[in-house]
Structure 1
Amino acid sequence: MSKMTEAQAEAVFAEIDADGNGEIRLRELRDYGQANGGAVDGVKLAEFVRGADTDGDRRITLTEFKAFFV
């Protein structure tokens, strides 16, 4: 897994969070993945969702995103 700085993680999160609501939904991940070779900073999307969605609500918050990548 690739590590990012907090600033990098925030920038990538904002890029994926297309509607700007502060959560990455599976649809946004799918769209981002299709545009970027099926990965987020070298991590496959399925692996990312399994590891990052700690509360199981099928949405990734900035806190969860940072915990996974930083």
Structure 2
Amino acid sequence: MAESLDKASASKIRQLFNSYDEDGAGTITISELKRGLKRNGIDCDDNELYRFMRKIDTDGDGRIDFTEFTTLYLKKTIQREEKGKKKKKAHLFAVKKTIPNQNELKARFRKADKDGNGSISIDELKETLGYSDDDDDDDEDDEWYKFMRLADENEDGEISFDEYVVAMIKLHLKD
């Protein structure tokens, strides 16, 4: 079943990522990737596997982190959507903005997570984006409100790191 970009959830992507990350190290090695693909009925030779790994592993550390995995997952989701529409967008994989890597996203997330509790609240997001209490809170077009709706998948009023990663990559891919 094809999933739309808007419905792609951080929890679903994390669950799939974890199914490949056998040792729970937070990254997928080439051997874990090979075994995971085999479990999913995808057999590929070592040359294909290494080419695929080089394409996904954008920071070149020899492992796939959650950000790299999410980028691939969401790009494939867009590709399926476009095939369904029988259109192709030439700019799909030639995204002008570089998608931030895992370390950049972690640094941005930590900066926004003012209280250090591992999630970003509405107030922290507003502060990060430069909004004050004097701003009109009823304006549904504010950036912070749009981002909260996009990122806060479980609607708990907080953005987890996984939700943040998925939302940031979605934003980059939509541009």
**Is TM > 0.5 for Structure 1 vs Structure 2?**
yes
| Superimposed CA distance per residue, residues 35-66 of structure 1 (whole angstroms, 9 cap, x where no aligned partner) | 11117xxxx86675243210122200011111
Tell whether 2:10 aligns with 1:21. Answer: no
Equivalent residue for 1:54, pick from 58, 61, 70: 58
1:23–1:60 CA contact under 8 A, matched in 2: yes
Equivalent residue for 1:31, pick from 31, 35, 50: 35
1:25–1:60 CA contact under 8 A, matched in 2: yes
Which structure has greater strand proportion?
1
1:18–1:28 CA contact under 8 A, matched in 2: yes
Distance in 2 (alpha carbons) for counterparts of 1:45 and 1:69: 17
Name the % identity. 35
| Superimposed CA distance per residue, residues 10-39 of structure 1 (whole angstroms, 9 cap, x where no aligned partner) | 010011100000000000011111111117
Higher relative contact order (CA 8 A, sep 6+): 1
TM-score normalised to structure 2 length: 0.32
Read off the aligned partner of 1:18 and give its amino acid letter. E
Q: Which runs of 5+ in 2 are unaligned?
A: 75-175
Distance in 2 (alpha carbons) for counterparts of 1:26 and 1:47: 11
Read off the aligned partner of 1:29 and give its amino acid letter. L
TM-score normalised to structure 1 length: 0.72
